[in-house]
Chain A
């Protein structure tokens, strides 16, 4: 909602408004689908203005509800998250309250139907991710993990009891979850994981031993969805809870990326997990991959949100800064960079909308998600680096925020499948030949 501090200044500043007595003209481009016929007939005389903020009218592809969700959440992100991020990133502090706040907004697990979740479209999920990540990728990681990597597996693969027990609390942000797949020796090849879950028929528990690393939220998480190899050699998911004996979550120090989110390990030393905590409806790597695809889709949108922030910030900076008597933006080198940024962001977002619609229609293949996660992250990292350069010396100061996005996007480009790994996924789809391993 559009109020608070900013409004004070605007209401008290008379010079902002034109002198007008009683006049309003009709119609905006925003949601004028019903007025399209009138606009079409007028368009012979009316020239279409190019909007650099929305190069291919993404707005026109969204439903009224998606626009409302986006607008409401954007206001929250700008008013509540943006003021925190400078210090949170500088001092490496994770604000646990943001999870509860996002829970209140209803943006955790937004695509899930029931259990206190909103049940929105995947396009809305993408718009949410874009708004959070334009503030910080660390915050968006927290949101993605909770929604796609914790709530989604419980919803897709869990029992009704598990869903009732965990989903409403996760949706409210009352409890925080993390996703344990990656290990110190197994990142891109999860099938080689060394974490084992041994079944004890006498106690009806699984004894889980192993360690996971690079786990977002783990130092402060209440629950962990951990993937381990069972006696039959198949990978299965288990819900672990903080307090279980043998479970520790040390923090990873010395991180220069996603500093506003807490990252750590999950160390399990014969943790006794009751069999009720097994996710029964999936086995094999399809389980974790299903979750990762869900998260990767959000990242495809989110990365472009970070890129948009960097593009807009660089544009404003180069318009304001005068060197040799003219704004930096007057220079061809600057304009070329901005043209490239505009193009990639615009095209990337159009692809994301199409992908979201396909997912909603259940006509999406995993390779599509790989393609866009890879594209968005690679392009966003490039855009952020260029934008950093355009700001010159000021570009390395966190006060201008861009350097923080540069740092963050290094991780975003790497996690949930590195740039190269997604290339191999696509390569296999294109040629039919796998090139992940050295064997046949």
Chain B
């Protein structure tokens, strides 16, 4: 086993920013808006770095797909303890239409190229909430997947994953190589300390293009329109259950 873990990190609009839709309804405003690493990707990086500190794996490689600014996100991962980065350059219109299917093709190609033992991703991104990339990548690679992981332990050449599912917690044991996606309670990401931020400057970030990996990133999806959610209307207070039923019948809901 190579002892190498790939971690996917995505640059998204910061969670604290108030999202605004562009006047032409083609998307959301990103110019001049604060961006940061997707919170679930932070958890993924933290898990990978923890595994390295416990000596289960040897190298953590942070990967991000996007324009030049994606390197900031990779640098944050390096400051948290990743060893090196790979920036897959996707710009302009291609970046606008980049989605889970293309990203998973890229990750699958990289996982093979880097002879990765593990691929850890965040369970979903907070901008599109797709929750697809991990699953698709596992399918493309024909690797087992441990998604919504809230606990991960390596046992020999197998991985025990406790998954958060609707009914509670599910524990599975899967073979390596595998894909894991991180859920909220997997760990608490560390603050990037100053010495580590300084060290991150010296770590290498390799640049590749999707074409170099033999991946076609044309999208099969077209965004027609983006709207804000409708304004919440004031509610109506009712006195009894009968009133409630009557009102629901009135509005045609039942």
Instruction: Say which residue of A4, A15, A49, A106 sits within 8 Å of B195 (CB atoms).
Output: A106
Whether, in the assembled complex, A361 has its beta carbon less than 8 Å from a beta carbon of chain B, the answer is no
Closest to B30 in A: A25
Assess the A11–B227 pair: CB atoms within 8 A.
no
Closest to A35 in B: B68
Q: Which range contains the number of B residues in contact with the other chain?
A: 35 or more
Whether, in the assembled complex, B198 has its beta carbon less than 8 Å from a beta carbon of chain A, the answer is yes
Kindly list the 7 A-B residue pairs having the minimum CB-CB distance in the complex, ordered from nearest.
A106-B194, A118-B194, A23-B27, A29-B32, A106-B193, A72-B192, A1-B189
Least CB distance, A324 to chain B, in whole angstroms? 25
Assess the B19–A16 pair: CB atoms within 8 A.
yes
A73 and B184 CA atoms in complex are apart in Å by 22
How would you classify the secondary structure of chain B's contact residues: helix, strand, loop or mixed? loop
A160 and B42 CA atoms in complex are apart in Å by 40
Whether, in the assembled complex, A440 has its beta carbon less than 8 Å from a beta carbon of chain B, the answer is no
Assess the B97–A120 pair: CB atoms within 8 A.
no
List CB contacts (< 8 Å) of A1-57 with chain B. 1-4, 6-8, 10-11, 14-32, 34-35, 46, 49, 51
Whether, in the assembled complex, A104 has its beta carbon less than 8 Å from a beta carbon of chain B, the answer is yes
Whether, in the assembled complex, B242 has its beta carbon less than 8 Å from a beta carbon of chain A, the answer is no
Residues of A within 8 Å of B36, CB to CB, are 2, 71
Closest to A17 in B: B19
Residues of A within 8 Å of B223, CB to CB, are 20-23
Whether, in the assembled complex, A153 has its beta carbon less than 8 Å from a beta carbon of chain B, the answer is no
Whether, in the assembled complex, A158 has its beta carbon less than 8 Å from a beta carbon of chain B, the answer is no
Least CB distance, A363 to chain B, in whole angstroms? 23
A-B contact pairs, 12 of them (CB 8 A): A3-B188, A6-B16, A16-B18, A22-B97, A24-B30, A24-B96, A24-B98, A30-B32, A64-B75, A69-B194, A105-B191, A106-B193
A16 and B15 CA atoms in complex are apart in Å by 9
Closest to B228 in A: A18
A68 and B71 CA atoms in complex are apart in Å by 12
Whether, in the assembled complex, B26 has its beta carbon less than 8 Å from a beta carbon of chain A, the answer is yes
A73 and B190 CA atoms in complex are apart in Å by 12
Whether, in the assembled complex, B212 has its beta carbon less than 8 Å from a beta carbon of chain A, the answer is no
Assess the A3–B226 pair: CB atoms within 8 A.
no
Assess the B15–A2 pair: CB atoms within 8 A.
yes
Instruction: Say which residue of A10, A30, A51, A65 sits within 8 Å of B197 (CB atoms).
Output: A65
Whether, in the assembled complex, B43 has its beta carbon less than 8 Å from a beta carbon of chain A, the answer is yes
Residues of A within 8 Å of B79, CB to CB, are 68, 72
Assess the B184–A24 pair: CB atoms within 8 A.
no
